[in-house]
Amino acid sequence: AEKGIALNIQTYNDYVVPNTVVEDGTIDANYFQHTPYLDNFNEEKGTHLVSVGAIHVEPMALYGGKQTNLDALGVKGK
């Protein structure tokens, strides 16, 4: 709103619908994928989506420390 842009944020339960609703014009854009995923999606689904900018991808990992299995982490990793 500060720059005259109003966002209507939608949430989805999968990685397909955000692209199909952009392709069919239901929404204007989405923000969730890296270029290899977008390219593969276009190839597999026959869509015509393009990237207008790079996004960051958060790395996710488990750090074992002294634990030997996930059960040893306990509730909330404590």
Across the chain, mean pLDDT equals: 87
Among 11-20, 38-47, 53-62, whose mean pLDDT is lowest? 53-62
Q: Considering its fold, how many domains does the chain have in total? A: 1
pTM for the predicted model, two decimal places = 0.67
Residue 55 has a pLDDT of 77
- Does the residue 50 lie in any domain? yes
How far CA 18 is from CA of 9, 29, 46, 55, in Å, comes to 11, 8, 15, 15
Would you state the pLDDT for residue 78?
57
Q: Does residue 10 belong to any structural domain of this protein?
A: no
Is the residue at 48 inside a domain?
yes
Domain that holds residue 27: 17-77
Residue 3 lies in a domain: no
Task: Give the range among 11-15, 34-38, 74-78 with minimum mean pLDDT.
Answer: 74-78
